[in-house]
Amino acid sequence: MNRTQLLSAASTIAVLSLAAAAPAMAQTKFEFWYGLSGDLSEKVQEMCSRFNASQADYEIVCVSQENYENNLQNTIAAFRANKQPTVTQISDGGVVDLMLSGAFLPVKQLMEDNGYNIDWSNYNSGVASYFSTSTGELLAMPFNNSTAMFYYDTDALAAVGFEGVPETWEQVEDAARKLKEAGYSCPIAMDPTGNWQWWEQFSAIHNVPIASNGNGYGGLDAEVLFNQGKFVDQLAFYKRMFDEGLMVHKSKAAGQTANEAFIAGDCNMTSSSIADHGTFSTQKKGNWQVAMLPIWEGTVRQNSLVGGAALWTLKGKSAEEYKGAAAFYNFIAQPEQAQHWSTITGYIPVTVSGFEAMKAAGFYDKAPYKGRELAIESLLYTPAGEYTRGVRLGNFGAVRQEVIKAMQSVIFDNADPQAALDEAAARSNEILRKFEQTYAGQKLP
């Protein structure tokens, strides 16, 4: 409704003057649900405000669901009740659930239907492939994408005589031992619920499968394989590091997260998303650096996995709301907005041209942003292979929880690593079989 329709014939000159000075109301309001909290949630709200301020036709209402799993489950429940948002942010772990749901409009169709011409080949292949069909059709709009990195306090490491970059697990252990001997109480902060960086990324860069059928890409009958080989050895290594006080439990349950401990200087090394680089840049005191994840000596490093999420457009909304969603996607695809988003967060630029433009402008040479380019290098270290292109398992969030339970039972309750992983694998395969039965006869697109 425009302002003219809001005015009555009896309006006075004063009322006309006030109405003329008032901002126009957005004609179409639509919701965007996302799964981030804290500092990153504030950054999403800032992006939404920038979009609303950039035009007067649409108002995006952005609602945090606190975390990715909450958002996935809340989105599913809302869709069943016909109360779904127009746009929802679904992480890498929920891709299969959305793919088979039939509840979304492919992003390419959405943009074409609304008159936008997007160069989809410009999107980083490591990012786009995670949210695409087997034939390469991108189904969702890449938004906040990342990979896991290793952060370390250079002042602390230098104080115990460790110079350079901790590139291998042997070097990490050596540095941690020296820190412990020198009186540092928390050489490495680790959250045993953070299996994305400590477990899934480990699998990719060491080129070992999490599941059969090419980590699930080959079909819904995949079975997990994380109870074999290097996984068992790695969990035993984590347990030993905890027992010796070289790794220390840091999480919300422990009263201080790993990131908070690193920022405060209470812990000297940790692993987290490149998206947290922006928070560390503004909040951590002292000197620190970021590196690619450590590998074991003798390993041929492979590319790491993309993390983060993409924006899915849900069915059942009005044509006007879809126009608003398309306008928002076009807005975040603009080079200046992509650079702003990457600047204030640490998430990688999702387009090749965006990365090249930022690099050419010297963005990664500036102190607050130096090192972020390593995330791109890590994602593209090798061409994506059978076990490094991602994990495509149904109800993957529940499978992840089984891995977390196994890690915690070993670290906190002294369970045998092999036995704990065997039990987690058995329960995970039950989850996968139930998912396969739910979608019997369907194939992954």
Taking residues 127-147, report their average pLDDT: 89
- Segment among 2-11, 234-243, 408-417 with least mean pLDDT: 2-11
SS3 138: strand
Of 276 and 136, more confident:
276
- Domain 28-146+306-361 belongs in CATH node 3.40.190.10: yes
Is the pLDDT reported for residue 7 higher than 50?
no
Which residues 6+ apart lie within 8 Å of 164 measured at CB? none
Cα–Cα distance for residue pair 144/261, rounded to 1 Å: 24
Taking residues 237-259, report their average pLDDT: 97
Query: What is the average pLDDT value for the chain, to the nearest integer?
Result: 91
* The token pair that represents 184 in the structure block: 């540092």
* The token pair that represents 56 in the structure block: 């007067």
Is the pLDDT reported for residue 161 higher than 70?
yes
* The token pair that represents 396 in the structure block: 């993957």
Of 336 and 328, more confident:
328
User: Rounded to whole angstroms, what are the CA distances from 22 to 2, 3, 51, 332?
Assistant: 12, 9, 19, 27
- Show me where the domains of the chain are located: 28-146+306-361, 148-304+386-438
User: Rounded to whole angstroms, what are the CA distances from 171 to 122, 333, 402?
Assistant: 38, 40, 30
Which residues are 290's β-sheet partners? 151
Taking residues 58-71, report their average pLDDT: 96
Residue 407's H or E segment, with its range, is helix 396-413
Of 25 and 60, more confident:
60
- Segment among 86-100, 169-183, 227-241 with least mean pLDDT: 86-100
Is the pLDDT reported for residue 38 higher than 80?
yes
| CB-CB contact of 354 with 338 (8 Å) | yes
Is the pLDDT reported for residue 16 higher than 80?
no
Of 201 and 339, more confident:
201
Cα–Cα distance for residue pair 202/405, rounded to 1 Å: 18
| CB-CB contact of 219 with 212 (8 Å) | no
Residue 93's pLDDT band (cuts 50, 70, 90): confident
Q: Please tell me the predicted confidence (pLDDT) of residue 9.
A: 36
Taking residues 388-413, report their average pLDDT: 95
Separation of CA 226 from chain center: 21
| CB-CB contact of 128 with 338 (8 Å) | no
Is the pLDDT reported for residue 160 higher than 50?
yes
414-420-421-425 Cα dihedral, nearest 10 degrees: -160
Residue 418's pLDDT band (cuts 50, 70, 90): very high
Same fold for the pair 28-146+306-361 and 148-304+386-438: yes
Residue range 423-444, pLDDT digits in tens = 999 999 999 999 999 999 898 8
Residue 11's pLDDT band (cuts 50, 70, 90): very low
Cα–Cα distance for residue pair 414/416, rounded to 1 Å: 6
Tokens 């069943």 correspond to: 80
Residue 304's pLDDT band (cuts 50, 70, 90): very high
Which residues 6+ apart lie within 8 Å of 333 measured at CB? 118, 141, 351
Is the pLDDT reported for residue 157 higher than 90?
yes
Residue 25's pLDDT band (cuts 50, 70, 90): low
Residue range 335-375, pLDDT digits in tens = 888 888 988 888 999 888 888 888 898 999 998 999 999 99
Is the pLDDT reported for residue 260 higher than 90?
yes
- Segment among 15-19, 77-81, 204-208, 349-353 with least mean pLDDT: 15-19
Q: What is the CATH number of domain 148-304+386-438?
A: 3.40.190.10
Taking residues 179-190, report their average pLDDT: 98
| CB-CB contact of 149 with 374 (8 Å) | yes
Residue 124's pLDDT band (cuts 50, 70, 90): confident
Taking alpha carbons only, the member of 345, 215, 353 closest to residue 272 is 345
Q: Tell me the pairing of strands 269-273 and 188-190.
A: parallel
